[in-house]
Structure 1
Amino acid sequence: MTDDIIPLGTAAAETLFDKVNIAYEDAYGNNPAVEKQVQDAISMLGDKAKILDVGCGTGVPVSSTLSKAGHDVTGIDISQKMIDICRERVKGSFIKADMISFQSQQQFDAIFAFFPLFHLSYCSTHSMIFKFASWLKPGGLLFIATIPAEALVTDESLYDSSKEYVEGCEAPFMGNLVTSTLLTTQGWHHLFQQAGFEITATVYHTFQPNYTSAAPEHQMFLTGRRCHHPFLGPYPLPSVRPPPHQLSEEAWEPFAKRLTRHEFDAVLEIIKLNKEVLDVGSGHGELPIAVAKKVGKAYALEPNTGRNDLIVNHRDGANVHVAKGTAEAIPYSDRKFDAVVAMWILHYVDDLEKSLTEMVRVVDPAAPNARIIIVQGAPDNDCINLMNEACGPIAARDTDAPTIDHQGFLLAKACEVFTAHRFGDISLERVNAYCSFPDEDLSIRVSCAASILANLWYRSHPRLEEMKKAFVPVLEKFFADKPFQIGDYGVILVAKPTVKP
C-alpha cells in the first residue's frame, strides 16, 4: 500500500531521499548484480582512476567498493543526509549537489549513475547523458543502472511517439508512488549513441528489494565508452547541412532582450592577451567594443548595414574598425589578426567551408596567442531543440532539403577545416545561457515564447502562424518541467595552431 505520490522533479527527490536515508541502504544495499557490476568495472579501470558517483546515496556499495580498491572517488547526491552518511563511512569527496546544475571541475575515468535518473524529465535525462559524456575523459566509461520502461509499462499508448520513453509513470518505491521517467532499452541505446558512446554491455537482472510489499524489479545495467566528443553530437551527424537560416533585426531583438548570456565573458577571458581581434558577425558590436576598451582597438565585420551603423553609434569612443562584409569574403589581408571570433553565426552563412577557411586565412599562426574562437549551440540547447520539434516538420512540407538544425554538424566541420589548415589544437567547452519567460500566466508565457522562437528563424516563412500553433503543446510540456527559462546552452570551440610556422 503506498503512502504518497511523489511528483517529478529535483525538489521532490531531495525530500524523498532525506526521508528514506539509511533505510534505502537496508532495502537496496544487498544487490549482487550491483556488486558484480562494480567489480567488473574495477577490472576495466587503471590504477587510481578518478571516479564520479552520481546519486551516491549512502555510498554503499558503489563508492565504498571503488574507494577500497584505491580509486579517487567523488560523489554527488541531492540529499544532505545521504552525503553526511557518505562522509562518515567512505574515503572520498562527497558533495551535496543537484546533478542538473552540478559543474564538474575535472574529467573522470568513469562515471557511475546507478538509479538516480528516474525523477528527471526526458529532456533533462537527455541533457544529463551529454553532460556525463563531457565530464569523461576520451575513452572514459559510463555505467548506468535503471529499470527499462518495458519492464513496468505495458500500455503502449503511454509512450512517446518514438516509443522510446514514458514520462509521468507512477513507479513504486519504498512505500511511495514516484512519478518517473522511464526509457526503453532501445531508448537508452539510442541516447548513448547520440552522445557519442559505444555500448559495450547491456545486462539484465531481477532483484527483490528488502521492504514490505516490494515487488521484484527487472533492472538493467548499461555500459558505454566515450568514443566521440559529445559537443559535436547528437550522432550520427547528418550527411547534408540544412540551408542557412534567415535572421532579421525585428526577430532577433525580442529574443535578445530575454537572453542571459555567459559565453560573452568567457570569450573575453579567452582573448584577454590578444592584440588584433576580428569579430565576424558582430551584431550590435558588444564584443568588439569591449575588446577595444581593453586593448585599444578591435575590428568588427557585419554584413548588415543597419547593424554596422548601430556599432558606430554605440561604440562610446572605443576604437572599433567597422567593415561591411561576409564571412565568406573577409575584407582583410592574410595573417592580419592574432584572433578571430565568430559567435552564433555559422548557421547563417551561405558557404560554411569557405567561411571557416577565410577565418584561418586572416589569423597569423606565428602570433604568440593565435586562435580562432567559434560559439555555437550545445546538443541539448532547448531553444534549438524546441524549434526543431515544432517548426522543423512544418518547414519540411515545402522542401526536399533538410530542415532540422544540427549545431554539432557546424562544429564538427569547423574542427575538420581548422585541423586541415594546421589549427588542430582544439578544445570544446560548454557554456550556459538562457531565455527568461517570467509571466505567471502559463497561456501568456506559452504564447510569448511561441511567437519569439518561431519568428527567430522563420519570420518570413509562409507557414509561420502554423508553427506558432504547433509550439503551444510543445511549450506547455516544456514549461511543466522548466517553468520560466528556456536554455540556450552553447559550446565554445577554441582552435590554436598545431605547429608554429
Structure 2
Amino acid sequence: MDEERAPRAAAVFDALGAEYESAFGASPAHHGSLRRLLADLTPGSRVLDVGSGTGRPTAATLTAAGHDVVGVDVSPVMVDLARRRVPQADFRQADIRAMPLADASFDAVCVYFSLLQMSRAEQSSLLHRLARALRPGGTCVVATVPLDVEDVQGVFMGQDVRVTSFAAEDFTAAVREAGLSVTHVESLLFTPAHPDAAPEPHLFLHCRREHPRPTG
C-alpha cells in the first residue's frame, strides 16, 4: 500500500471542499445511475458509499429513499460537510484501503470516481474487497474516468494531482475479475461546471455479486 497517496488525496479534496459538488453534483449520468441503483434496492438497504465527498448527490439521494448509508472519505473537510448536509447518513473519515469490511455486510456499494488516486494494484485489490463486502445478489456501482494512465501528474480543478486509471475495457475486466457481473454500462463525455474543467470521459458500471453456485 502506498502510504503517501491517502494524505495527498485528502489534501486535494480538503482544498476543493464544496467546490467539487458544484462542479460534479449536477451530472445527469450520476443522477441516472442513482435512479437505476434505487430500482435495484429493497427497502431499508444498507449501502456503502466509497469516497462519499460532500454527501450529495449520492448519500442524500439514498437516505431520502429510506436506505441506511455508510459514507467513507479520506478528507476530513469532505466528511464534515457531509455530516452537516446529510445528517441521516453515517460518515466516517478513513482510508478505505485499510478499513475493515466484513463479508456480505452491505446490500449495495457505490464507488463514484474515488479510485483515481490509487495505484492499479490498489484499485484491483479494493474491488475484490468491496465485492466480498456485498451480500450475494447485491449491487455495486462503479464510476471512473477510463484513461490508460499510470501515476501521471495533472491538474484537477486547480489542484496538482497524480492520477492512475485503466482503459475502459481493462477496467471492466478488473471489475469482472473481482467477482462481479456487469449488468449495465454507460459511457459518455462530461464537462464539469468549473472554469478550469475540460470534457472528460466517464464510465459507469452497474454490477452484481453473483450467488454462489451449489457444490457437490
TM-score over 0.5 (shorter chain)? yes
Structure with a larger share of its residues in strand:
2
Q: In structure 1, what is the equivalent of residue 58 of structure 2?
A: 62
What is the letter of the counterpart of residue 23 of structure 1? E
C-alpha offsets along residues 403-425 of structure 1, whole Å, 9 cap, x if unaligned? xxxxxxxxx9xx95xxx4xxxxx
- Identity of matched residues, %: 34
What is the letter of the counterpart of residue 95 of structure 2? D
CA distance in 1 between partners of 2:10 and 2:21 (Å): 16
Q: In structure 1, what is the equivalent of residue 174 of structure 2?
A: 191
CA distance in 1 between partners of 2:14 and 2:172 (Å): 32
What is the letter of the counterpart of residue 102 of structure 1? M
Paired residues, number? 211
CA distance in 1 between partners of 2:99 and 2:48 (Å): 12
Runs of 4+ in 1 over 3 A off after TM superposition: none
CA distance in 1 between partners of 2:144 and 2:173 (Å): 15
Change (3 A) 1:34 1:97: same
CA distance in 2 between partners of 1:126 and 1:12 (Å): 20
CA distance in 2 between partners of 1:83 and 1:166 (Å): 28
Q: In structure 1, what is the equivalent of residue 165 of structure 2?
A: 182
Q: In structure 2, what is the equivalent of residue 87 of structure 1?
A: 83
Q: In structure 2, what is the equivalent of residue 34 of structure 1?
A: 30
1:20 to 16, 28, 32: 16
Contact 1:170 1:179 in 2 (8 A): yes
Q: What TM-score, normalized to structure 2?
A: 0.92
Q: In structure 2, what is the equivalent of residue 138 of structure 1?
A: 136
Once the two structures are TM-superposed, the CA of residue 166 in structure 1 deviates from its matched residue by 2.8
Residue 102 of structure 1 pairs with residue 99 of structure 2 = yes
What is the letter of the counterpart of residue 111 of structure 1? V
* Unmatched runs of 5 consecutive residues or more in structure 2: none
Once the two structures are TM-superposed, the CA of residue 114 in structure 1 deviates from its matched residue by 0.3
C-alpha offsets along residues 337-387 of structure 1, whole Å, 9 cap, x if unaligned? xxxxxxxxxxxxxxxxxxxxxxxxxxxxxxxxxxxxxxxxxxxxxxxxxxx
C-alpha offsets along residues 274-320 of structure 1, whole Å, 9 cap, x if unaligned? xxxxxxxxxxxxxxxxxxxxxxxxxxxxxxxxxxxxxxxxxxxxxxx
CA distance in 2 between partners of 1:114 and 1:40 (Å): 14
Q: In structure 2, what is the equivalent of residue 73 of structure 1?
A: 69
- RMSD of aligned Cα (Å): 1.8
Q: In structure 1, what is the equivalent of residue 122 of structure 2?
A: 124
1:217 to 200, 203, 207: 200
* Unmatched runs of 5 consecutive residues or more in structure 1: 1-7, 150-164, 230-411, 421-501
Contact 2:12 2:161 in 1 (8 A): no
Structure with a larger share of its residues in helix:
1
CA distance in 2 between partners of 1:172 and 1:111 (Å): 28
CA distance in 2 between partners of 1:166 and 1:173 (Å): 15
CA distance in 1 between partners of 2:200 and 2:72 (Å): 25
Work out which of the two has the higher radius of gyration on C-alpha atoms and give 1 or 2. Answer: 1
Higher relative contact order (CA 8 A, sep 6+): 2
Q: In structure 2, what is the equivalent of residue 208 of structure 1?
A: 191
Contact 1:143 1:221 in 2 (8 A): yes
